[in-house]
Amino acid sequence: ESSLIIYPNPSSDYINIQSDQADNIVSEIRILDMAGRELLVQSNIKLGYAAIQLDVSELSKGAYVLEISSENERVSRKINILD
């Protein structure tokens, strides 16, 4: 079970990513389109209990894959972007 909370989904402007572990270090966050093309990358983020926000307002309406890599786990979730 992942320790990551991703909300809101669907979204039109921001996606929040939060951990339920205080010391969670995220090495990389990527958003990919359904063809696997990398659209957004953020690296070396100390997540902890605080949520980080990803700006998804520039993405077109549709489905994407949010991929989060940390020292403990690698999580992929489908996210939906609205107009």
Q: What is the pLDDT of residue 7?
A: 95
The answer, yes or no, to whether residue 76 has pLDDT greater than 70, is: yes
Residue type, 2: S
Q: What is the pLDDT of residue 1?
A: 60
| Token pair 């909370």: residue | 5
pLDDT digit string (tens) for 45-61?
877 677 889 999 999 99
pLDDT digit string (tens) for 10-43?
999 999 998 887 777 788 999 999 999 999 999 8
User: Is 66 within 8 Å of 33 (Cβ atoms)?
Assistant: no
